Amino acid sequence: MYKLVLCWRYLKTRYLALVCVVSVMLGVATLIVVNSVMGGFSAKLRDRLHGLLSDIVLEAYDFDGFADPEGKMRRIMDDPLLAREVVAMSPTLEIFAMLQFQFRDTPVTKPVRLVGIDPPTRSAVGGFSEYLTDPARRDKPGFWMDEAARDRFERQKRPEPLVFTPLGNPDEPPPPEAPKPTPKTTQGAILGYAIAHFRDRQAKAEDGATRDRRTLQPGDEVVLTTVSGAKLAPVYDRFAVVDYFRSEMSEYDSQFIFVPLEHLQKLRSMEGRVTSIQVRLRDYDRAPAVVARLKEIFVRDSLDVQTWEEKQGAVLAAIRVEKGILNILLFLIIAVAGFGILAIFSMIVVEKTRDIGILKSLGASNWGVLQIFIAYGLLLGLVGAALGTLMGLAITVNINEIEHFLARATGQDIFPRDVYYFDRIPTEIQPLAIGLVNLGSVGIAVLFSILPALRAAMLHPVRALRFE
């Protein structure tokens, strides 16, 4: 009992020990906030990549694609194993392209990635309709134009060129009129949100966030230029903007444009050919077995079969490495607190040599004195870890409000939304990570208190009292 009393008394009277408590608290809070933010970004990135790529992707090795996607999907569903595991499939044709449009009478040209899809099947695979900005289109995905977009498109149609009648004998009968060409139906296109919007840093919303300005309205006409088939001959067509795709991933929102699959196949002279088939599974844990079976079925076809994690392995690995290195570097903050505990405990042993001698002369054992100082280090670690956990969780929960306050106070964007196009900083509180951080901080506090505790335990009571 006397051990706990001494530990509590030292904690209250030795104000220098509060430095150690604050160091441990700040280290734990920093690690919790960093892990929560990194976990939020990682989870959001994985969710977006998984949605955009589906569970498994059967992909061609080049832009020429492969033929008969319907036959390949039938072969998949005819297999007993795959028929049980596969929920939905969708063919996709993807190619690079150049986007051209007029903004305030100024021509704008951007490189984009043109993706031909079948909206119903692509929505069944997932990762498409839920990212559309038009609520009606989420329920009925497609490239149709609503009334407002159609009215704007009709108003912007160019007038037909004037027909000049050649001069001649007015008595002669007029020549027969040439047949009028069948009007061409303009296809719709769904643009990435960042293609048709830009962030106006000068205009602020009520919550302090920057506002988006549209460069392309639904119903505006754009020109997409790409290449045709294996000959790589340039082809182009005009499309009408019908909606926006907002995944909150700048890489996709600033590059992807979705158009009807059949129309893109005709434009590129690739009728019946696609570049990939996206597959959604009933249970993603069965993905390795499904991939192995697909490779057996298409062993003679020039297809690359990968899960979405294998396809994006470099990105996911980079995030894991960055998170691990950052945690190691930030853990040094707690190590600094450990050296503070070592220095303070060494000073306490020197100052309390007489008290230690009295305790030993009254019957305290070496093990009892050792326990006093180890328990003192444990108490410092527990108090610092508890306060740091509360502080870290409070910062994590209110991190967006703190970011808005700092942005208003400094006049600088702490979180640049034009990079990620996130409205809020994503966070994910991970109980396991919090537990490991607390365990590590308490362990460091105890570890650095062992050496001074051993020194105090080895003091001889007679010598301790003699020198005092």
> What residues does each domain of the chain span?
2-46+315-467, 62-156+184-301
- Alpha helix segments (H runs only) across 270-413: 287-297, 308-311, 313-351, 353-361, 366-397, 399-410
SS3 67: strand
**What confidence tens digit (pLDDT) does each residue in 106-141 have?**
888 999 999 999 999 999 998 888 889 999 898 889
Tally of CA atoms within 13 A in the half-sphere of 355 that contains its CB: 9
* Region class of 204: left (phi > 0), else alpha (psi between -120 and 50), else beta: beta
Average pLDDT over residues 155-168: 53
SS3 260: strand
The answer to whether 72 and 277 are in contact (CB under 8 A) is: yes
Kindly report the backbone phi and psi dihedral angles of residue 284, in degrees, each rounded to the nearest multiple of 5, phi listed first: -70, -20
% of residues, the chain, pLDDT over 70:
78
What was the pLDDT predicted at 230? 64
**What confidence tens digit (pLDDT) does each residue in 25-60 have?**
888 898 899 888 888 888 877 777 777 778 899 998
Residue tagged 């699959």 (tokens): 261
Strand 56-60 relative to strand 276-281, pairing: antiparallel
pLDDT(235) > 50 = yes
Strand 187-192 relative to strand 197-204, pairing: unpaired
| Residue 410 identity | T
Mean pLDDT of the chain: 80
Size of the chain in residues: 468
How far does the chain reach from its first CA to its final CA, in angstroms?
A: 26
SS3 84: helix
The least confident of 202-216, 239-253, 279-293 is 202-216
What was the pLDDT predicted at 314? 79
**Assigned token pair, 364:** 């305290």
Name the residue among 114, 115, 123 with its Cα closest to residue 141.
Answer: 123
